[in-house]
Amino acid sequence: MIDVLIVGGTGVPYGESITDTFSRTLDHSRFAPRMVPYPADYGLHVSYAESSAAGKAALLSAISDSANRVVIAGYSQGAAIAGDVAAEIGRGLHPDLEVLACALIADPLRPAGQCITQDPGGYGIAGQRPVDGLPTFWAAAPGDPITALPAGNPLRTVADLTQYFCISSPEAALRWGQSLVDAVLHQRVQRWWAPKNWSAWSGALAYARGYLTDGRHTDDYVRQGHAALLATIINREVA
C-alpha cells in the first residue's frame, strides 16, 4: 500500500470537492489517501506565510511517520506546500524521507509549460518553482489566475505583498506592514510591469473574475476533469 498525503487549499484543510474527486479516483487497492491538517489560513487567524510554514512542518512529519511508501499531493495553498517539499526532497535535503511522486492541483508556483493537459499558458501567481529529481505532475485549469497567470498580469502583486497579511491583532497588522517594506527594499517582487509584459496588462479583470465568480480556480477542476485525470496519471505512473 502507498500512502497519498494530501494538503488542502485555503479554508479547506480537511478537503472539499476537488481533493475528494482526486482521492476517489485513486486506485484504492494500491493507494490510501488522507488529508494532512494544517491552518490553511490567509490572514484571518494567521498569515499565509505562517500557515504555509505550519503546513510544511505537518507534511514532513506525516511523511516521516508513514509506515508505507508515500505520494504527496496538494491543492492551491496546499499545492504550494507539497511542491516546495517535493523540490527539497528532489534536491536531497531530506534523505531520510521516501517519496515516490508529487501531484499538484492549482499550484501557485507552477512552472510555465508544466501541465498534464494542454498548457493553459502563464505560470503560478507567486512565481515559478521547478521540481527536479522527483516525478511531479501539475493540473492547471485555463483561466485560473492562481496557477496560469500571464507574466505581465498585475494580480501578481497580490501574491507578492500579502504573504504576511493578517488581521488577527494590531501586532499582526504591524508585521504585515513591515513585510511590505522589506519586500520592496529587498526587491522580492515580481517585475510584472516590465515593458515586455505590457501587452498582457488588460487581462487583470478577466482573471480576477475567473477566481472570484467563474470557478476557474474551483469548479473547473471537477467539471472539466482535471482532478480525476491527475489521479488517473498517479494510478498509471506510480508503481
In this prediction, residue 15 carries a pLDDT of 84
Indicate the DSSP class of residue 123.
B
In this prediction, residue 166 carries a pLDDT of 41
One pLDDT digit (tens) per residue for the chain, 239 residues: 999 999 999 888 888 899 999 999 999 999 999 999 999 987 678 878 889 999 999 999 999 999 999 999 999 999 999 999 999 999 999 999 999 999 999 999 999 999 999 999 999 988 899 999 999 999 999 999 889 988 877 777 766 545 543 444 444 443 434 543 454 444 555 554 455 554 454 555 565 665 666 688 899 999 999 999 999 999 999 98
Structural contact between residues 22 and 226, judged by C-beta atoms closer than 8 angstroms: no
Q: Determine which helix (DSSP H) or strand (DSSP E) holds 84, and give its type and residue range.
A: helix 77-90
User: What is the pTM (predicted TM-score) of this model?
Assistant: 0.83
Domains of the chain: which residue ranges? 2-149+211-232, 156-209
56-to-48, 61, 89 alpha-carbon distances in Å: 12, 9, 12
CA distance 124 to 153: 11
- Class of the CATH-defined domain 2-149+211-232: alpha beta
